[in-house]
Amino acid sequence: MRGIERTPGGHRLTVWSRHATAMELRVFDATDPDWLVHTVPMERVGEEFTVDTALLQVGTPYAIGVHGPAGPGHAFDPDRHAVPPHARGIVRTPHGQHRATVTVDDFDWGGVERPRIPRQRQVIYEAHVKGLTKLSPHMPKELRGTYAGLAHPSTIAYLKDLGVTTVQLLPIHLFVSEQRLIQQGRVNHWGYNSLSWFAPHIAYASRQAQFDGTGGVLREVKGMVRLLHEAGLQVFLDVVYNHTAEEGAAGPPSSLRLIDSAAYYRHDDEGRLVDWTGCGNTVDLSEPAAQELVLDSLRYWHREMQVDGFRFDLAVTLGRGADGAFDPQHPLLRRILADPALASATMIAEPWDIGPDGWQTGRFPTGFSEWNDRFRDTVRQFWLSDYRSFREGGHGATGVGPLAHAVSGSEGLIASERGPVESLNFITAHDGFTLTDLTRYDRKHNEANGEDNRDGADENRSYNHGVEGRSDDIAIELDRRKSMRNLLGTLLVSAGVPMLTMGDEFGRTQRGNNNAYCQDSALTWMRWERKDWQDAFLEQTRRLLRLRREHPALRPREYGQGGQRVAGSSRLDWYNADGLHMTIDDWDHSHDRTMQMLAESTPVDEPYSRVLVIFHGSPRDRVVVLPEADGTTDYELLWDSALDGAGEELVPPGAEIGITPMSLRVYAVHGLPAAGTPAPTVVRYRTPPTAPATPPAAQPLA
């Protein structure tokens, strides 16, 4: 076992290094982690170095010194103190270095079990530990912005009332700010700069836990997970295994570089670090030792910390072989999926990096969900970019075909055998504009980041509705809010697993900053005091989430098949504005941007349901004829994006209804199919043409 483990007389430390020639344990004073008090040689056994000692007791700070050869790819420096990579507790010294500490791992989980939430029922809420509660007035000041604050009853009540099932946290592995940011007086707020893959980030713990060197931070994280689980909420972590905080050649060596840079990092033929992550280095995950380190980290967080799932930052890097090419059957990807200790964990890939052929959406193996950037771009194009074009006298770039492909689960982009649940759908994420800013800004406004507005994505498929930034024109503001409802509504009626970004549920803004990674301030923290329109938008979000929860036809587990009964699928019929089945011309032409999707569930363990969704992407009013679908008695309006509230009406099949420009409606379909059963064996199933498999113009990278 690599890392530290208890022995009858103390602890054993084991560290891997292929190229090191010698290694020693360095033990520091418990009250002054800068004061070295003991040095103990470690014994080499194969490619591992180990030591058994009574000097390692709970709370003891320690590090290792590593000796090795010079030359291309090597960075050994025995004058520096290296943090062993498996350290579960880490403290910062007064001089800014880091030491590992021996921790107590015991924790009483109180019999609380993980929530078992099927993927088709998951709704992910991407949040930042500090940003979520830093401004919360509902808890003691000392808990705001902490793990304990996230698990405070007020936070949990908010999340439960909202209707999400899963909290996905931006990185909580111990991270540090990049040297460039430190020199500018800025900080890394998002956390994508890991120093350790085992120790939790200290600054997110309450002050009392931070000063408990026996493992207080670990216990606070476990307590957070336990309370979220007790409330029925899953916990996912955003994990960064593609690079580390050691940056480029001039960066601060602290762990892997000092232990065995040549084995852990990618280098070119001349020994220079390869950077396919934009962060100065790239972990070489074709190396078995690097794979083992990642697997050990995943097992630890899933088994010991009870985390339910992982979102892999720049996951293409994890699937690159020794030659640098991405391989969906890469040994690490296969091992993650095959590991029995990880069998119950959800795995989500961010399917790109900035290396060669870095865009790989749809190519990960079955078992990985993927961030579907094609869904994001298609929905933004339909509701925002094309709307701008209409308002400027032009035409929409696309017809309804690409949108239909996206909302029906992106089959083709996502292989049929994987099912729509492996499409992780999102409109926004931590990286990019917020939902509100998508409707307020045509251009990024990142001047505060100190990079002369060069950072962040230039292509956002946003639309400011005629005015850049906030506006006092109520007509513009109302138009923006309808666009926001169109985006949110499309996300939550689509097949796949939806992800909301913290604050989008009520319209949080970052004032046009689409790359706020270095903004640890009220710009990125969630505000808990809301304006009236934000309260109304929050209620719309709750209503849409409830609608999705109550109608399994909107969240199939499997793709449907024409003329077949597939358990867990939704069988789809597509109609044009005249209530007739879609033709090839209807799919291909951009002049008529109205379609109706009739989704019918094939029940497994939930009640039968049928839902009609009308997408009207035209700048003009339109009369739409409701389809005369088999067995339908009437349609009940559940939601209309043109309304700030909820509409309620019952209309018969064949009725003509007026649809507001650029809007979305959802109806419950009452009655049974003509056969009189909730699951006919033969149905009409017309699927939209598969969108071409070309990468989008830009993929913002975390």
- What's the CA gap between 236 and 301, in Å, rounded? 10
- What's the CA gap between 552 and 443, in Å, rounded? 38
Contact partners, residue 536, CB within 8 Å, separation at least 6: 644, 645
- What's the CA gap between 437 and 253, in Å, rounded? 38
**Distance, CA of 155 to chain centre:** 20
238, 170 Cβ separation under 8 angstroms: yes
Residue 549's alpha-carbon distances to 233, 321, 493, 498, 670, in angstroms, are 15, 41, 10, 12, 18
Contact partners, residue 139, CB within 8 Å, separation at least 6: 133, 149, 152, 154, 155
**Distance, CA of 3 to chain centre:** 29
Going by their DSSP bridges, the two strands 22-29 and 61-67 should be labelled as: antiparallel
Residue 218, phi then psi, degrees to nearest 5: -55, -45
Paired with 85 in beta bridges are none
Q: Quickly tell me which residue has 């003329």 as its tokens.
A: 563
194, 137 Cβ separation under 8 angstroms: no
- What's the CA gap between 295 and 277, in Å, rounded? 20
Q: Where do runs of H (alpha helix) occur along 61-163? A: 129-133, 147-150, 153-162
Could you give the angle at which helices 474-492 and 373-380 cross, rounded to 10 degrees?
150
Q: Dump the DSSP string for 307-343.
A: --EEEETTGGGGGB-TTS-B-TT-HHHHHHHH-GGGT
Q: What's the DSSP call for residue 57?
A: -
189, 524 Cβ separation under 8 angstroms: yes
Active site (catalytic) residues = 313, 350
- HSE-CB at 389 with a 13 A cutoff on CA atoms is 17
Residue 513, phi then psi, degrees to nearest 5: -80, 115
3-class state of residue 431 by DSSP: coil
Q: Does an H or E element contain 235, and which?
A: strand 234-239
- What's the CA gap between 415 and 411, in Å, rounded? 6
Going by their DSSP bridges, the two strands 10-16 and 3-7 should be labelled as: antiparallel
Q: What's the DSSP call for residue 120?
A: G
Contact partners, residue 576, CB within 8 Å, separation at least 6: 582, 583, 586, 592, 594, 595, 596
